[in-house]
Structures are given as C-alpha cells and as structure tokens.
Amino acid sequence: MLLSYFLMVISFILLSINGAQGYFHFKIHNATHIQFAFISTIFYMFAESWIMFYFIGAGKTIKETIINYKLDKKLYEDVIASKRKLFPHITMNVLLVGTVFVIGGGVHTKSISALTHGMLFFISLFHFGYLIYLQHYYFKDTARILIELGDLIKED
C-alpha cells in the first residue's frame, strides 16, 4: 500500500511538471514537452493500474477468507460498494489523462486548440487530485475491513 501512495504522489508531480512544461516551454534532461508527456503518462497509467489491482486483489482475498471461514457476507458488500464508488473515478481519470496525451499531438499539428488541451489538462489534474483523496479514503476503508475480518477470524 505504501508503494501505491508513492506512485500516486510521483504521478501527480510528473503530470504537474509536464503541464508546466506545456505552458512555459522548458526541457527536462533534453526531454521536450511531448517526450516528457509520454514518460509521465506511462508512469501514471502504471500507477493507476497498480492501485486498481491492489483493490481487486484485496477484494478477492476478503471474499475468499469470508467463504473459507463461513463469515457474514456483509463485509464483502462493503468491498463491492467501495469498488462501485472508486473504480468509475479511476476509469474516468485514466480516460481523461489519456485523452489529454492523445490530443496533445493535435495541438502540435494545429488541428486542436491549445486552449482545449489546456482546459482538459486542468480538469484531468483536478480530478486526479480528487481521485487521490478517494483512493486514500478507500485504502483506509480496505484496512478497516481487513482488521474487522481478522477480528472475526480470531473470535472463531
């Protein structure tokens, strides 16, 4: 889970720097805005995939433990509820960031306005900030569920 937090923070920093590169036209280790966008976007996609698989894996472990110990399935309903709230936001943000990356090429060929690209970037970045908040909340919620599950197992 600590790695997930590290990946979220680094992703946010990389995307923010890349956004600044687009506005202020500077290079980072000879990487242009487009080259750095490629690196930032790939890192971001990896981070969000990692986090999604954490929640998928934790949910699977919780479900299997509930089945193995014949425990109340209400805990798993909490897992499903959290996935229903979190996964649409992760998916939306991945789509937004991916779209910003793809239409960035359109800006450089003058087929898409820089204003459209910039506005979509800020929407994506603000939504990512909100997503980080949600992910933190559901990391804590998953920890709560796992602790509760451990307590139920100890009682048996």
65-97 pLDDT per residue, tens: 999 999 989 989 999 999 999 999 999 999 999
Mean per-residue pLDDT for 145-155?
93
d(CA 146, CA 107): 47
- Cβ atoms 93, 128 nearer than 8 A: yes
What is the reported pLDDT for 155?
A: 85
In this prediction, residue 108 carries a pLDDT of 85
Residues written for the chain:
156
Terminal CA-CA length for the chain: 28
Percent of the residues in the chain that have a pLDDT greater than 70, as a whole number: 99
**For residues 101-123, average pLDDT:** 95
The rounded distance, in Å, linking the Cα atoms of 145 and 151 is 10
